[in-house]
Amino acid sequence: MSAPTATLRSEWAKLTTVRSTGWTLFAAFVVTVAFGTLVSALSNSDYDSLSEQEKLSFDAAGTSFTGGLLGQLAMIAFGVMVIGSEYSTGAIRSSLAAVPRRGVFYLSKVAVATGAALAVSLATTFATFFAGQAALGSHSTTLGAHNVLRATFGAALYMTLMAVFSMGVATMLRSSMLSMGILMPFFFLITQILASVPGAKKVAEYLPDQAGAAMVRVVPKSDLPYGAGGGFVIMLAWVAAALLGGYLVLRNRDA
């Protein structure tokens, strides 16, 4: 068995034997579906009170994906725990002793966790879509409608990329608590505040969560300078920067 294959198997064993990561992925599924369904039900009941312009721009698919606002926090926690647990338990020393090639170790850990995050994200977004459309009743849409399937896959990719971005950040910071203490308030509060401040809005538009939001919209925001494709490229740039930063720290610092 080659070293990369053995490392992948080892990382898969780690991921599947640690209960906290499994429960975190389960939480991402539950909160995303539950919150998206709730918002869809409320939107259905309030639909008649919307103006004609609001009805014309109503995004049925995007409404069901609003659960991703909470689901992304669970995916951030998952990404942080995948890496941070190595440092919090001291297992990073034995891991690097077993796999001295740090690039192989890092790539294997990220690849295994990304695969798990993507599988859960796909199941989550499709379940969220169908539950949300059921709650929207006569105001619902279908997967065959224009851009709806693209938005559904976009929602899954966004959740996955947030987990991968968090892995890179956690590798740079080498601490679960510090990573969570920075990422959670940043995406839950700070970016929302920046997006509502006129002077900072242009900068906030290019932050990861704002770019990710563009990926899940069927009806694009008219004041956003890019669409779903642009949001995907911006997200990839953030993820690549975080992973590169994590690799450089892992390569150059002692365990």
How many separate domains does the chain show?
1
Contact criterion met (CB below 8 Å) for 74 and 138: no
Neighbours of 53 (CB within 10 A): 8
- Residue 85 amino acid letter: S
Segment 84-118, tens digit of pLDDT: 888 888 888 888 888 888 888 999 999 999 999 99
Please give the model's pTM, rounded to 2 decimal places: 0.91
At 255 the pLDDT is 62
At 18 the pLDDT is 80
On the question of pLDDT at 1 being above 60, the answer is no
At 224 the pLDDT is 80
d(CA 58, CA 66): 13
Give the range of the structural domain holding residue 212, as residue numbers without chain letter: 3-252
149 alpha carbon, distance to own chain's centre: 18
